[in-house]
Amino acid sequence: MNIAITGLNATDNPGPGVPLIRSLREFPGFEGKITGLIYDTLEPGIYMDDIADNCYLIPYPSAGHQVLAERILSIHEKNHIDFIIPTLDSELFGFIKIQDRLASAGITTFLPTQEQLNIRSKDNLFAFSVKHEIKVPKNILLTSAQDVYTIPSHMKYPLAIKGIFYDAYIVHNFEEAMAAFHKISSKWGFPIIAQECVKGDEYNVVALGDGLGGTVGAVAMRKLYITDKGKGWAGITIHDEPLIELAHKVIQKTKWRSGMELEFIKSADTGEYYLLEINPRFPAWTYLAPVAGQNLPWAMVQIAQGKKILPFTSYETGKIFVRCSWDLITDIKKFEQITVNGEIANGK
């Protein structure tokens, strides 16, 4: 089997591609090939040992889904692809659009539906959570700079200003809110979300839904270190039944199909969990799940092939991940090959 995976950008805001590949490669008996689908010639995953057997440049999502389909199919002709796992929020819409075309060429996917993608989007999450009695911080949508002036009538500072796809900033006053608004809107467009800040510790759950409302597996962790961009840089697996039950509830209500990440904050005042985000793909800390006993990426590949997988019922607690910076040394010839040809064989 040849599995193609995106998101090899293992930088200060890492993509999920590299940890997904590590999860698959370390499954006992895995003998398949891994193809990296990349957007930039300097994505670190290209040059990491034992990650991708080959890499191919693909067009940015802004190029449109037809261009994406043509590129994927041209790669498929050279290097037969059996399964594709897109790992970035911004590319999922395009892959959902072309999944039938890919399927007709023999390329399997296991993606959420467009409806599911819309339900969990940051601009719809509040309504979804209220409907299903899941606690969520108050938020409002900002579609113009004028809306920033209305924030104090809805909530108090400090609060979070979030982009529809990525980026989030904690702001303490109007000036910081306006600066964050312009910074995010220029990069990711509209709407922008202003979200109430709930004080407490942050918790995440990585999970896999079977598309029928069932949970194949779910692993919870508490963030131990958070960067200035709000990214978890260290975390520890924990067992908290109410948290896992919330993950099951979200999957059951959405009938989620694919991997996902649920972000929560546990209120320091009440001890209740508030749902912050539903990310529609496996997170960058996914590798913690197989280490703890639930290889969710491999389970997804099996389900997509029509194989029956018994749900995971437990995992090890006390497993910690800590990210680090590591200089990769490579040769200019590899960089030239991917830059000139748009592909590299044996790029590991």
304 and 209, same structural domain? yes
Render pLDDT for 47-56 as a digit per residue (tens, 0 to 9): 998 999 999 9
Q: Residue 291 belongs to a domain with what CATH number?
A: 3.30.470.20
Domain boundary among 180, 196, 212: 196
Closest CA to 248 of 222, 217, 292, 278: 217
CATH of the domain at 9: 3.40.50.20
Closest CA to 58 of 41, 74, 71: 71
* CA atoms of 181 and 161, how far apart (whole Å): 7
CA distances from 80 to 5, 30, 300 (A): 14, 18, 20
Dist CA 277 CA 231 (whole Å): 13
**Domain finish residue from 196, 211, 237:** 196
Q: Is residue 127 part of a domain?
A: no
CA distance 195 to 157: 10
- Is pLDDT of 140 > 50? yes
Q: What is the pTM assigned to this prediction?
A: 0.91
Give the separation between CA 233 and CA 12, rounded to whole angstroms: 9
* Contact status, residue 131 vs residue 268, Cβ threshold 8 Å: no
Which residues 6+ apart lie within 8 Å of 97 measured at CB? 65
Same domain, 337 and 305: no
The span from the CA of 206 to the CA of 11, in Å, is 20
CB-CB contact of 39 with 55 (8 Å): no
What CATH code is carried by the domain that includes residue 178?
3.30.1490.20
If asked whether residues 254 and 298 sit together in one domain, one would say yes
Does any domain span residue 157? yes
For residue 204, give both structure tokens: 């995440």
How would residue 147 be classed by pLDDT, with cut points 50, 70 and 90? very high
- Other CB atoms within a 10 A radius of the CB of residue 289 amount to 30
Domain co-membership, 205 together with 310: yes
234 and 307, same structural domain? yes
Query: Same domain, yes or no, for 229 and 308?
Result: yes
- The pLDDT tens digits for 9-35 are 988 889 999 999 999 999 998 989 999
In a domain, 96, yes or no: yes
Which residue, chain included where needed, has tokens 């060429």?
105
**Per-residue pLDDT tens digits for 63-101:** 999 999 999 999 999 999 999 999 999 999 999 999 999
Mean pLDDT value of segment 175-190: 92
pLDDT for residue 347 is more than 60: no
Residue 158: how many other CB atoms lie within 10 Å: 14
Mean pLDDT across the stretch 43-50? 93
Contacts of 96 (CB under 8 A, 6+ apart): 111, 112, 113, 114, 117
- Shared domain for 192 and 206, answered yes or no, is no
In a shared domain, residues 211 and 102 = no
Same domain, 28 and 100: yes
Residue 346 has pLDDT above 80, yes or no: no
- Helices 17-25, 296-304: axis angle to 10 degrees equals 80
Q: Across the strands, what pairs with 238?
A: 220
Residue where one domain finishes, among candidates 196, 214, 240: 196
105 and 86, same domain (yes or no): yes
The answer, yes or no, to whether residue 207 has pLDDT greater than 60, is yes
61 in a structural domain:
yes
Asked if residue 91 is part of any domain, the answer here is: yes
- The pLDDT tens digits for 281-312 are 999 999 999 999 999 999 999 999 999 999 99
Cis bond upstream, residue 242 (ω within 30): no
Whether residues 298 and 207 share a domain: the answer is yes
Residue 21 in 3-state DSSP? Answer: helix
Is 92 a member of any domain? yes
Higher pLDDT, 164 or 329: 329
DSSP 250-262: HHHHHT-EEEEEE
Q: Give Cα 242 to chain centroid, integer Å.
A: 23
pLDDT at site 348: 45
Asked if the structure places residue 116 within a domain, the reply is no
Domain count along the chain: 3
Domain span at residue 241 reads: 199-322
Is residue 211 scored above 50 in pLDDT? yes
In terms of domains, do 156 and 241 share one?
no
In a domain, 124, yes or no: no
Convert the pLDDT of each residue in 116-139 to its tens digit.
999 998 888 999 999 999 999 999
Mean pLDDT for the chain overall: 94
Condensed to tens digits (0 to 9), the pLDDT of residues 226-249 reads: 887 677 899 999 999 999 999 999
